[in-house]
Structure 1
């Protein structure tokens, strides 16, 4: 049987080239913050308080305050790049109207020690009035949960940045702890090709400023 041609990487390369930005989540703001985790064997999260850098972003890149599938990505030691998006019923991406009105989830589960585990970040209520990057408050707090069943395991505090910084490109497919898998395997292969196409299609990453 002939191999199925790879259409994912070329498609994402073309989209990234047309935008001269990431194919998905092209609009964003970097943040500094901390992750505080109590011991939980469900995932290899670092215990105690860990300094992190990350990015809050709009999945489709809708302008201004229009709703979008919002992204929350951050780098843990290892490195382990975690990417969460506003979602419904664990696996369905869901546009959110504000940065605090949606539940951020891993969409697809992790495979760790023979089990499938989801990770989520539940935002604290705040006064952000839209999905505009300019509406981000000075600080955002999230409760980190693993499931299922869902249970809290820690906190993430993010402080969005307004100035350019030399910050790392986040890639949850390439950067993860040894032994931690992404499921299902077919989706992992598709994501790997999508990230590769997006990297090859765009110029070196700028750190984007807040939109209006």
Structure 2
């Protein structure tokens, strides 16, 4: 009984410390590195209804790779990759967030702790396209690139001279994952720029490629509150995007 109370008290204290620290840093994915980069898209051949995936091209991106709980280096954690695609319209952005996940039709919905950044990442929940198709996006290691390794420092080292790359995949409900493009890491951004980044996968979206479901919908509130709490500038209000996410399955 005493042991249970002690563990509960320790948990409450740890949570309180984490919340207090989140006034100056992220509550989730606190430890990370941000980079400039490029998304190269070659498409799937068969249109999906999402212009970003269907039209071959190159897009500048800002990307962040991180540890979900901020465990010590080399320890397992739910690892994350956030990608902000800039343009093609000036001022427009698309935020795509990925976490290490399981493989297969059902396990891809479950975040899975990993030791290495050379892992499979998924959006966990599906996206809807302009053709009303439901697809799942993923990131996979590029076997022709450098290994990202197990630490944020090793990822930064791999990014030198165009060495760090991830493959972008898409899958519908019936088939396996097909590669649609490649993400290249550029130069590492200063710590202040990393701290100021505020990704929002619900509001910063395209109408023809948007997240679906109540899990994503709940993030619309959580992201905005968390970003304001730590002093970051949140995305512009987009009630239509939040409603679209909550009402589509």
TM-score (norm 2): 0.69
- What's the CA shift for 1:155? 0.8
Q: How far has the Cα of 1:97 moved from its partner? A: 1.1
State yes or no: 1:85 paired with 2:99.
yes
Contact 1:141 1:156 in 2 (8 A): yes
Q: Which residue of 2 aligns with 1:192?
A: 220
Residue 202 (structure 1) shift: 1.4
Q: Partner residue of 2:201?
A: 172
> Any idea what SS the aligned residue of 1:90 has?
helix
- Max radius of gyration: which structure? 2
Per-residue CA deviations over 1:3-29 (Å, capped at 9, x if unaligned) read: xxxxxxxxx9x9554433222111110
User: Are the equivalent residues in 2 in contact too, given 1:15–1:201 (CA < 8 A)?
Assistant: no
CA-CA distance at 1:124 after TM superposition: 2.3
Q: In structure 1, how many angstroms separate the alpha carbons of the residues matched to 2:191 and 2:28?
A: 21
Q: Deviations over 1:71-113 (max 9, x none)?
A: 111111231011111100221101111111x101111000112
Q: CA contact under 8 A between 2:38 and 2:186: conserved in structure 1?
A: no
Is contact 2:140-2:167 (8 Å) kept?
A: yes
Structure 1: stretches of 5+ with no match in the other structure: 1-11, 206-212
Q: Secondary structure at the match of 2:108?
A: coil
Q: Which has the higher helix share?
A: 2
Uncovered stretches (5+) of structure 2, i.e. residues with no partner = 1-14, 234-249
Q: How many residues align?
A: 191
Q: 2:42 touches 2:181 (CA, 8 Å); kept in 1?
A: yes
1:39-188 superposed matches below 5 A: 39-40=43-44, 41-42=47-48, 43-45=50-52, 47-76=56-85, 77=87, 78-88=92-102, 89-100=107-118, 102-112=119-129, 113-125=131-143, 126-130=146-150, 132-136=151-155, 137-138=158-159, 139-148=163-172, 149=175, 150-159=177-186, 161=188, 163-164=190-191, 166=193, 168-184=197-213, 186-188=214-216
Deviations 1:107-141 (A, max 9, x none): 100011222111111012444442x2112122311
CA distance in 2, matches of 1:141, 1:71: 15
Higher relative contact order (CA 8 A, sep 6+): 1
What is the CA-CA distance between 1:39 and the residue it aligns to? 3.2
Which of 29, 32, 41 aligns to 1:28? It is: 32
**TM-score computed with the length of structure 1 as normaliser:** 0.80
Q: Which has the higher strand share?
A: 1
